[in-house]
Amino acid sequence: MPALVHERLDAVLAQAARDAASPLTFCRRWLGWQPHEGQRRWLTAPWRNVQVLVTGRRWGKSEVAAVQALWFAVTRPGSRQGIVSVTLDQARLSFDVAIQLCEREPLLRALVRDLRMTPFPTLRLKTGSELTVRTAAREGIYLRGHKFHRVIADEADYLSERLIDEVIRMTLADVGGQLVLISTPRARRGLVYRELQRGLAGDPTVYAQQGATWENPNVDHAYIQALRERMTQAAWMREVEGQYVDDDAAVFRWADIQAAYEGVVYELPSPPRPGRRYVQGVDLAKHEDWTVHVVLDATERPYQLVAFERYQRTPWPAVAAKIREVHQRYQCHQTLIDATGVGDVVLDEVRDIARGLVFTSRTKLDLITNLQLVIERHELRFPFIRELVDELQAYAWDDAKLTTDCVMALALACWAAGPRSSVELGPSLWS
């Protein structure tokens, strides 16, 4: 039996050697996978020390990153690759695709030596190659001391430049390895943007590629087009067209948003602590929107976001019960909810513990201006929550067609936290 296993491994390795020169051959023979045109260009791009892929959402970045990582692991025996992102969950997206392919495809399955999911997911092949996942949390402490031949920074625009330059690049220094920056566009003039421009300008050390969501034939194009009315032009260009846009007119500056979550390592929900002052803000769902709860520890500044819940299609009595449960769990000093329209129905159920605010042009201006000041002054800290971060960046003063549930819940919580030195709300505006 061992001889048969050895012969099988030799055959697989011989096949790998034959397919090493062509990622597309690897896709066809090993995976039975057909990349779309943009993915084909990426897979067949010339080797560069830095590769940059900036695209719209649902383009297939995580999928093609997984395929490329497997090809590299199979055809470069003894290589070590890392997938890094702002959270472990984000970093695992490509890794999980790679594992699914290994489980599905016989040739790959024959090469798997070991799969470990804790503390950090790691795949080891019989070729001696390794693919591991790391989070960039705690200023990259889980990366320091490691040596990689290749690092994939997934959603790299969410990472700080300092972490990429001082931590991630140093993991490649021993072997002159490859840095792969993959992202939906966020910060114009940030590191990913600059590397992209270098590659597009012909720098021989950088390969750069952009792509729109439309390049993926597997997404519902009519559905994507219908989202346009719910997005600002800037958000549409970033999220769908995969283009960087000027954010000079943004309500919340990207650098300030990043400062709010960078270096935050605690998990949600954070348990209540005696002697702390907690407040809750709740934005209620309208139609297909989301109900969002935000709880802040407002004992001192910067405020700490300690609980975040987001759900939809829930009956109003259940929403009222959740508001009450969260309020009692944290013994909130104040709970402030959106009492606009049907929100008044929910307020009637929790009026003994909560106050309501009817959204008007004046109240929203006051709420958002207050939140703007809190974020600009770096008086708020929260763990990375992608829905919240993306809504903050996409928010515009004309928000009638935007998704704003997370922003408004946070604004309500910050208002409840008070006191406010620069903005005040007239008593007549409270319900």
pLDDT digits (tens, 9 = 90+) for 36-50: 999 999 999 999 999
Quick one: pLDDT at residue 52? 98
- CB count, 10 Å around CB of 264? 15
Least confident of 5-9, 45-49, 123-127: 5-9
Could you give the percent of the chain with pLDDT greater than 70? 91
In angstroms, the CA 50 to CA 55 distance is: 16
- The span from the CA of 359 to the CA of 163, in Å, is 40
Question: What confidence score (pLDDT) does residue 249 get?
Answer: 65
Q: Which of the two residues, 273 and 4, has the higher pLDDT score?
A: 273
Neighbours of 297 (CB within 10 A): 21
- For residues 392 and 250, the answer to whether their CB atoms sit within 8 Å is no
In this predicted structure, what is the pLDDT of residue 145? 84
Q: What is the phi/psi pair of residue 95, to 5°?
A: -60, -45
Question: What is the pLDDT at residue 428?
Answer: 31
- CB 235 within 8 Å of CB 184: no
Task: Please give the single-letter amino acid code of residue 175.
Answer: V
Q: What pLDDT does 142 receive? A: 80
Report how far residue 196's alpha carbon sits from residue 210's, in angstroms, rounded to the nearest whole number: 9
* Minimum mean pLDDT range among 77-86, 360-369, 377-386: 360-369
Q: How far apart are CA 220 and CA 238, in angstroms?
A: 18
Q: Is pLDDT of 78 > 80?
A: yes
Q: 165-200, pLDDT tens digit by residue?
A: 999 999 999 999 999 999 999 877 789 999 999 999
The DSSP symbol for 217 reads: T
Q: pLDDT class for 4, splitting at 50, 70, 90?
A: very low
Tell me the CATH number for domain 254-429: 3.30.420.240
State the chain's mean pLDDT as an integer. Answer: 89
Q: Where in the chain is the domain with CATH 3.40.50.300?
A: 2-235
Cβ proximity of 300 and 306 under 8 Å = no
CA dist 189 and 199 (Å) reads 14
Does 315 score more than 70 pLDDT? yes
Check residue 7 and give its pLDDT.
56
CB 402 within 8 A of CB 231: yes
Identify the pLDDT of residue 334: 96
The count of C-alpha atoms lying within 13 angstroms of the C-alpha of 400, restricted to the half-sphere facing its C-beta, is 4
Alpha-carbon radius of gyration of the chain: 24
CB atoms within 10 A of CB 114: 10
Q: How far apart are CA 255 and CA 392, in angstroms?
A: 12
- pLDDT in the model for residue 288: 72
Q: Determine the pLDDT at residue 423.
A: 40
Q: In what order do the strands lie in the sheet with 150-154?
A: 112-116, 122-125, 130-135, 80-85, 150-154, 178-183, 50-55, 206-211
Q: What pLDDT, on the 0 to 100 scale, is given for residue 18?
A: 66
* Range(s) of the chain covered by CATH 3.30.420.240: 254-429
- Residue 8 has what pLDDT? 63
Q: Could you give the CA distance from residue 315 to residue 380 in angstroms, rounded to a whole number?
A: 31
Structure tokens at 320: 């009222």
Condensed to tens digits (0 to 9), the pLDDT of residues 322-344 reads 999 999 999 999 999 998 877 77
Question: Which residues share a beta bridge with 83?
Answer: 133, 152
pTM of the prediction?
Answer: 0.77
Give the pLDDT confidence score for residue 228 in this predicted structure: 85
Q: For 312-403, where are the alpha helices, taking DSSP H only?
A: 316-330, 343-350, 361-376, 386-394
* Annotation: CATH topology of 2-235: Rossmann fold (3.40.50)
